[in-house]
A = this chain, B = another copy of it.
């Protein structure tokens, strides 16, 4: 696979201006290399209006670490900054600062601990902890948030779509409505979160997947405009792709023309020893048409042929299609499970844009800074308690109950080790005095969630491949309470702090 140099707009200047003006200020104050700790977390799960997420699938970390490994200030970057002028016409950035940036402006001194990509993460629990020199830890903010917010958003949406299909195959079709070349990140995040395949050719090859697709209405229109027919178009397609023949049947009339013509072609294929793959429905009442098409296919002996559904699908639309099929299929003599089992879902716009909730509001907050030999916890007082980040350097743990289901994510002070404990009082980080005691009966096992992922300018382990990320996702989903997984009004998962961390937070608030 080719590795290309980054364009200017994807290098280290893919950042907000204020990161650089703050970096210069820190440098002038002698604080640029002061050790600081920042954390990435999001405050609220995506809420799509009619439906809401109860968990997120963490994605984008691999892309972020690749970006960090490949990125540092180039001579061109430095010269562009040197060209900036203040309102009064003076250089905005001093030469001595730019020299420092050229020498030390990389991510080599940062240490990053993170929840492994692909795992389930929850609101208010830090998924990434970045420690290192203040200036460069600050400069990392914009790109880190950009990568983690968008990828986690789309992976989460894909997980929901996949949940709604109850084990069906999901094809990601979103490029044409996707956000410029950000559509590549979107396709990839969808594949991490719940899509099985994508129509995105280059991206599929990059991750070793077969790109998926059938044909467009335009193909049938070409044949008709030239005096031929839908049947001719289908026949041409079947001749070209005899073993991958999926026909789009709604260009003229799905039940009157498309499905009968497809069946004719499928019979021709079978005579020649090829098994047809399926039909695609792209408009109309998809549940009704799927039932009727299934009946016609069954009648003609194509009982295993797939039915691909597309057209503004999302988790809610899929759920409604399932509900309608369950109610309506028996009236046509169609077995509900058999029909659901042959459905495939092409999901485009609403997946790649996370329709209904188009941004994850993840933030990157300073939690501590080294003053002399000790860490000083940083706190930001806010009118709304839920906007207050939990201060201090810390560790993140997941508690499983006796059944093996995750019951709470718990933040502790850095010197607390929860492994092996049998009783634990956990406090709500935002509602003072709200606590709960976990006894031996509540605690099946405990896991520390974050791992070291970056140190000394490189990843601390190889990049995870797609299969590995998907296995992590599935393992976590299996250990999630069904109430947290439900599509509408999910149960709120507990994210808590230990008594000592609660005490630190309260003392800092009192002091402020």
Residues in A lying within 8 Å of B, measured CB to CB: 1-2, 4-11, 13-22, 24-26, 28-29, 31, 34, 36, 38, 63, 76, 80, 83-88, 90, 92, 134, 138, 141-142, 145-147, 149-151, 173, 175-186, 199-206, 210-219, 221-222, 224-227, 236-237, 239-244, 251-253, 274, 277, 283-284, 349, 353-355, 358-361, 365-366, 368-369, 371, 376-383, 512
B185 x A180 contact (CB < 8 A): yes
B16 x A380 contact (CB < 8 A): no
Contacts of A244 in B (CB 8 A): 86-87, 92
Given the complex of chains A and B, what is the CA–CA distance between A213 and B90 in angstroms? 17
Contacts of A145 in B (CB 8 A): 175-177
B180 x A18 contact (CB < 8 A): no
Given the complex of chains A and B, what is the CA–CA distance between A253 and B381 in angstroms? 9
Of A5, A240, A284, most B-chain CB atoms within 10 Å: A240
A8 x B216 contact (CB < 8 A): no
Nearest chain B residue, comparing its CB with the CB of A382: B283
B175 x A150 contact (CB < 8 A): no
Contacts of A283 in B (CB 8 A): 382-383
B215 x A76 contact (CB < 8 A): no
Nearest chain B residue, comparing its CB with the CB of A13: B202
B206 x A178 contact (CB < 8 A): no
Given the complex of chains A and B, what is the CA–CA distance between A141 and B210 in angstroms? 20
B206 x A9 contact (CB < 8 A): yes
A147 x B184 contact (CB < 8 A): no
A87 x B180 contact (CB < 8 A): no
For the complex formed, measure the closest distance between the CB of A63 and the CB atoms of chain B, giving whole angstroms.
8
Contacts of A239 in B (CB 8 A): 28
Q: A25-B240, A359-B355, A361-B349 are known contacts. Are A181 and B9 too (CB-CB below 8 A)?
A: yes
Given the complex of chains A and B, what is the CA–CA distance between A240 and B25 in angstroms? 6
B378 x A146 contact (CB < 8 A): no
The copy count of this chain in the complex is 2
* Cross-chain contact of A8 among B2, B85, B142 (Cβ < 8 A): B2
A177 x B360 contact (CB < 8 A): yes
A20 x B176 contact (CB < 8 A): no
B18 x A8 contact (CB < 8 A): no
A5 x B8 contact (CB < 8 A): no
A179 x B150 contact (CB < 8 A): yes
B29 x A236 contact (CB < 8 A): yes
A380 x B20 contact (CB < 8 A): no
Given the complex of chains A and B, what is the CA–CA distance between A92 and B138 in angstroms? 49
Contacts of A24 in B (CB 8 A): 240
For the complex formed, measure the closest distance between the CB of A5 and the CB atoms of chain B, giving whole angstroms.
5
Given the complex of chains A and B, what is the CA–CA distance between A20 and B202 in angstroms? 12
Given the complex of chains A and B, what is the CA–CA distance between A213 and B81 in angstroms? 14
A369 x B226 contact (CB < 8 A): yes
B18 x A199 contact (CB < 8 A): yes
A14 x B175 contact (CB < 8 A): yes
* Cross-chain contact of A183 among B22, B182, B360, B382 (Cβ < 8 A): B182
Known: A16-B175, A150-B177, A177-B360. 4 other contacts (CB 8 A): A1-B8, A14-B181, A221-B378, A349-B361
Of A84, A88, A222, A243, most B-chain CB atoms within 10 Å: A222
Nearest chain B residue, comparing its CB with the CB of A204: B17
Contacts of A180 in B (CB 8 A): 63, 146-147, 150-151, 179, 181-182, 184-186
B176 x A142 contact (CB < 8 A): yes
